Amino acid sequence: MQHQFSMPTVPPPEELLDCETLIDQYLRDPNLQKRYPLALNRIAAQEVPIEIKPVNPSPLSQLQRMEPKQMFWVRARGYIGEGDMKMHCCVAAYISDYAFLGTALLPHQWQHKVHFMVSLDHSMWFHAPFRADHWMLYECESPWAGGSRGLVHGRLWRQDGVLAVTCAQEGVIRVKPQVSESKL
């Protein structure tokens, strides 16, 4: 007996821009440079050991509420090899934590400044063999957030549509409301 959800239909990673290219585009936008100079430069300076290609990147020029769902194509930078499945699982654990709790913030990101986020628990279930150095679709959704906590579910899909890993995380999210500047 076996069944699984169907992998979402999304463009393949070869058709999408990676995070570095998107950040470079944002840095060239004079309006964004004025609004978010420190944040954009901080993001651009980070070295992340995984490649990320957002499926529907959020337009930073539009302050909008977003649904608490996001998808990325992800893979480790470099070759890991076929023999060490434990290493692939470790990389999947790193990938699964990347931007995971941030999914719970998407409907609120322009209303609050985040003081800190910390995981209370993080569980993973491994269903099928996978290669963390091959592209996998990471589907994240937050069914609930409130009371300074957020719950997020995630699924890592192999490119052939096989569900490889399921994840769940609950975390504490401490925020402060954004103070708008007076126009008077």
Active site residues: 97, 119, 169
E-only strand ranges, the chain: 50-54, 69-76, 112-126, 136-146, 149-158, 163-177
User: If residue 61 lies in a helix (H) or strand (E), which one and from where to where?
Assistant: none
Handedness of CA 25, 31, 34, 36 (dihedral sign): negative
Tokens 């126009």, residue located? 183
Please say whether the beta carbons of 53 and 16 come within 8 A: yes
SS3 50: strand
